[in-house]
Amino acid sequence: MGRSPKNHRPDLNGVLVIDKPLGLSSAAVCRAVRRATGGAKVGHAGTLDPLASGVLLVCLGSATKMVDRLMAGEKRYLADVDLSAFSTTDDMEGEAVVIEPARVPDRASIERACAAMVGEVMQAPPAFSAVHVGGERAYKLARRGERDSSIGAPDLPAKPVVIHAMDILAYDWPALTLDVRCGKGTYIRSIARDLGRALGTGGRLSGLRRTRVGPFTIDDALTMDALEHFDASMLREMPV
């Protein structure tokens, strides 16, 4: 394993709350922060996929030791769900399987299905995810399964996660927007998939924006453009 890059700014310790844009990886944001700060030690608390936007916490200096504590905090998302299809990736990237339900669910039916998913529930991660299966990332196994049907997608065991709340913000078949509050390890793609199964429809994530991690909200977040004018006053203290 290679050494961590040297910390050229030991004076910078704290949290940068970044509004990660679509199309950019969490690692790319960390690289941009390191450049903007002149080589500070950085690490992010909770990956956001390139197809998701919103709150990404980038820890600097001594705050990098607290990444696990930040990741354990409650998270909040705005999730757009397409109920017309499932997909191999549980989002818009994978091959779609269009579903024609026996009946289009009304809002009351969706509210009941959402309520049934609140609390401590068992959730299987998406086949295309970063969880380890026999020492290998699940998405690597799934990609091999796409090339060789004899392998197939990995069968990932369900694990307990906590969903604190799921509220409907908008619904116009087949588009559904949810406000989700959840704990560590919850996959919003899996929520979309499992909701579709419960409703007898499809279910894949069509858009995702994280609006809060622990005490830090999207209102606290800096744009990537703001990093061009980085100042130590932008750093937030670690929560007690």
Which CATH number is 208's domain given?
3.30.2350.10
Do 53 and 139 have their domain in common? no
pLDDT of residue 142: 38
The stretch 175-190 carries a mean pLDDT of 96
pLDDT of residue 143: 44
Please say if 91 is a catalytic residue. no
Domain count, the chain: 2
The stretch 59-80 carries a mean pLDDT of 94
Do 83 and 151 have their domain in common? yes
**Whole-prediction pTM:** 0.88
Pick the catalytic residue from 19, 49, 80, 194: 49
To the nearest 10 degrees (0 to 180), the angle between helices 188-199 and 107-116 is 120
Using the predicted structure, report yes or no on whether residue 123 has a pLDDT greater than 70.
yes
Do 85 and 170 have their domain in common? yes
Domain holding 67, by residue range, is: 14-72+215-234
Do 57 and 95 have their domain in common? no
pLDDT of residue 46: 86
Q: What is the pLDDT of residues 185-219, one digit of tens each?
A: 999 999 999 999 999 999 999 999 999 999 999 99
User: Kind of pairing, strands 52-60 and 136-137?
Assistant: unpaired
Quick one: pLDDT band at residue 157, thresholds 50, 70, 90?
confident
Do 112 and 227 have their domain in common? no
Q: What are the beta bridge partners of residue 17? A: 57
The answer to whether residue 240 sits within a structural domain is no
Do 32 and 118 have their domain in common? no
Quick one: pLDDT band at residue 239, thresholds 50, 70, 90?
confident
DSSP 140-194: HHHHHHHH-TTT-S--PPPEEEEEEEEEEEEEETTEEEEEEEE-TT--HHHHHHH
The mean predicted confidence, pLDDT, of the chain is 89
pLDDT of residue 30: 96
The answer to whether residue 191 sits within a structural domain is yes
Do 91 and 55 have their domain in common? no
Do 125 and 151 have their domain in common? yes
Do 185 and 127 have their domain in common? yes
